[in-house]
Chains A and B, each alone.
Chain A
């Protein structure tokens, strides 16, 4: 537990020495949301429907990138090899990362949600649930980033895993077209992609009519995906390498 917290603190310290990254993490989603708001200036109903989706999407994408790049740097700089010769357990390392970037996701989601609700007149009945979903999405991004970084040898590869892992999920999650209207094969694929459940959850939130149980199921699936991805990330990490 101490080593998990120490790892989380270390990751946040690294981030804090990079002021520009901190500004980007905190302010970028709000900026994008603002642009989005004025694109739909003529039809606020669309913004009310899709705006919350963006609150979930930004942390997912940003945390995925931050995590996979940091992990690959850890691998190429030799610090990962060193960490694996210390008493630090692989699970503690993974949990430390999830904790640190989950915290960053909380800050990011808080700022973006506040900007959305108070400055951009986003209409949401249950802002706390929206916030929770945004944070879960951020942790999911971190978890998938940790998992994918096991397959990336260079930073170039890590950055390109973003379009590989994230873009198909954006295309298929039901944001562009309701999932049941897509070809059957794509719908089946979307059923196993975590982002689909995030989108469903945000849609239900925006409707305000959906039963709490459906929402709960979606959140449970997302949390489950986080746990599985983090566990796989821990298991796929190898102490011994060629």
Chain B
């Protein structure tokens, strides 16, 4: 059972009168970096919110680490990084992490390690509001690493980051997965798909492909993942 991290059956979500997810089924195995790729507005954030347990569902079941999404036990085992860096701009980086560490039930030592992991040790005394957008995202990510979560939900964590930093973060994601964690990372940049163990292509609230990057290339007969997405999306539309 523990080889499955997330299991979703018949998930339907309606937001503001619009059906965002019309009925989604998904199984995410444990210990992998899973990319959730698709254009803006296709339902990536809604899907991640559903797994985090903060999205009101119209119907369906979301099981995370063997328990309903958002259950008290899962709140210690799931780390969630929202698209907008949800840290306190009027606190320093260190104060932000100290607070989230206290909530996760861990100490300052782990907060220091999380800061190191996102390479922000030099900014610990800066106000989060004074950092650049990319740095704030990394503070938010460090906060999610506290408490050693088994599943990390990262909503577009690499938007607006420079290429070096993006590469470093994807290496960090790989290390975290190698230690047995599952990472679900959303992105609308297709070339990031190549860095994932597994890719979910999403379009208009549906998963149109669930495969390895190589599998996607083979299936669509192209080396370019952007092109592969287009081919598969068209196949899905005509099917």
Contacts and interface: CB of A to CB of B under 8 A. Distances in A.
A14 B91 contact: yes
A87 B53 CA distance: 13
Interface stretch (B70-78, B113-121, B178-186): B70-78
B27 interface: no
Nearest to A18: B90
Contacts of B90: 14, 17-18
Contacts of A78: 82, 84, 86
B194 interface: no
Contact of B75 (A7, A14, A77, A85): A85
A160 B197 CA distance: 51
Interface in A1-44: 2-3, 6-7, 9-10, 13-14, 17-18
Secondary structure class of chain B's binding surface, majority of residues: mixed
29 contacts: A2-B105, A3-B102, A6-B102, A10-B91, A10-B95, A13-B91, A14-B90, A14-B91, A17-B90, A17-B91, A17-B127, A77-B86, A79-B88, A81-B54, A81-B82, A82-B86, A83-B103, A85-B52, A85-B80, A88-B103, A239-B54, A240-B53, A240-B54, A240-B55, A240-B56, A240-B57, A241-B56, A242-B15, A242-B16
A18 B88 CA distance: 13
Contacts of A86: 75, 100, 103-104
B88 A14 contact: yes
Contacts of B56: 240-242
A13 B55 contact: no
Contacts of B127: 17
Interface of B: 14-16, 52-57, 70, 72, 75-76, 78, 80, 82, 84, 86-91, 95, 98-100, 102-105, 127, 143
